[in-house]
Amino acid sequence: DVKAISFTGSNQVGQQIQKQAIEHGKKVQTEMGGKNPLVVLADADLEKAVEIAVGGAFKSTGQKCTATSRVIVEEGIYEAFRDRLVARTKELKVGDPLNEETYIGPAVSKSQRDGVLEMIDTGKSEATLLCGGEIPTEEELANGYYVRPAIFENVAQDARIAREEIFGPVIALFKAGNYEEAVKMANDTEYGLSAAICTNNLTAAQRFIEDVEVGLVHVNSETAGTEPQMPFGGCKNSSAGSREQGKSAVEFYTEVKTVYMDRI
């Protein structure tokens, strides 16, 4: 009785569902992982770029498939951006998400937090931890699965924290020599869900829209931002089949019937 299957979740499960759906002749769409980059060019507004990085990476405790996990900064502003990003991250309040002053809520479960902490420990052996990554010690946070947002630099392109989806509040920070190198780094991933660029150069923004290998592109806004009336999905190993949301979703759940009628 099942005519179509729409799945959102991990790549491992999504690929299994896709295979079984195809074997049974079912229409299928999958939305899976992301390793979403934010590119910050030298002409960008630094304060706004920092807020875009923080919002994209740490809202929802990084538990979004569109969350920013890699921040690639042009070398001319790298140190200034890094220092502001670290300072801003240290200001973020961790705690009860129902408290309006809170920015970082808990992980959804102990196993989820443990997975994030395991990746942070891996990152410590692969890169330089600039801040965060520990469990808060405050008494009022003892009953929640909290972890302070972490930022790494000196990250190799083949490091686990640069390649694997963490689904937690972790940023891998990279330095790029120019626009071309930044885009090459952004595209160096098996995923292709969302990407963002911070720049005041309209030509660079248009180039990025064309060059970056993703399904969702943001210019001067965070990677995690979406609107339900717009098609949602990516390329490479992030998605398969048609897009979710918007007119694409209506089309996925619609059978097209072509009718030819002539006079008797």
Residues 49 and 260 sit within 8 Å (Cβ to Cβ): no
Question: Which position among 31, 74, 153, 165 bears the catalytic label?
Answer: 31
Q: What is the maximum alpha-carbon separation in the chain?
A: 83
Phi and psi dihedrals of 37, rounded to 5? Answer: -95, 145
Helices 78-91 and 46-58, packing angle to 10 deg: 50
97 vs 101: CA distance, rounded Å? 8
Give the H or E element holding residue 31. strand 27-31
208 vs 189: CA distance, rounded Å? 16
Question: Which position among 51, 65, 118, 227 bears the catalytic label?
Answer: 65
Count of other CB atoms within 10 angstroms of residue 152: 24
Residues 106 and 145 sit within 8 Å (Cβ to Cβ): yes
The helix/strand/coil state of 28 is strand
Give the H or E element holding residue 202. helix 202-211
Q: Please confirm, yes or no, whether 198 is among the known catalytic residues.
A: no
Give the H or E element holding residue 30. strand 27-31
Beta strands in the chain (DSSP E): 4-8, 27-31, 36-40, 68-74, 128-131, 150-153, 170-176, 191-192, 194-198, 216-219, 235-236, 239-240
Block residue for tokens 């129902």: 98
Tell how far CA 205 is from the center of its chain.
19
146 vs 161: CA distance, rounded Å? 19
Q: Please confirm, yes or no, whether 31 is among the known catalytic residues.
A: yes
Report the catalytic residues.
31, 65
